[in-house]
Amino acid sequence: MQKPNHLAAHKDLEVAWWIEATNVQFRFAGQGVTIPSTKVEPSESIAKKLKELNPVGDEANVEYWEKERARLWKEVSGHLRAGFARPAPGTPLDQADRKPEDWSESIPAESVRHDMIARAYNRMIPRSRRRLTLPLSTLH
């Protein structure tokens, strides 16, 4: 997955959210951006990108995004975290850096290495959020 590169060229996105208990689907359309880790890109560069987005409150600070990234990383399962240390989808197994039987099944949140972060950044959309206000009448 090259989502950060894709988002850099095509900011329009759509998210579908299915609530199984009520059989309701919500679709949100908008624009997405990536906010890289300070382990991948200098803080000054990230601050410049944030300024262009014109965020308010804590979201205007690079430190907020570092803390938010760490919080979200801890919330996902170790099995999901392990997926970010594996080769990118579609990579032929004979070109992978390790054999599938050597891949980790789970990775603790505290064991993140800088090279893993750089690899994961190039393969995923770093978490971000945008405030969305909908009139209650649209939720019927």
pLDDT per residue as tens digits for the range 115-132 = 555 555 454 444 444 444
Contacts of 14 (CB under 8 A, 6+ apart): 27, 28, 29
Q: Which two three-digit tokens encode residue 14?
A: 């759509």
Query: Whole-number mean pLDDT of the chain?
Result: 79
Measured distance CA(81)–CA(111) in Å, rounded: 10
Residue 134 pLDDT > 50, yes or no? no
Q: How many CA atoms lie within 13 A of 139 on its CB side?
A: 6
pLDDT for position 120: 52
Contacts of 46 (CB under 8 A, 6+ apart): 35, 36, 38, 62, 65
Contacts of 43 (CB under 8 A, 6+ apart): 62
pLDDT per residue as tens digits for the range 58-90 = 999 999 999 998 899 899 999 998 888 888 888
pTM above 0.85, yes or no: no
CA distances from 13 to 19, 44, 112, 125 (A): 20, 27, 29, 12
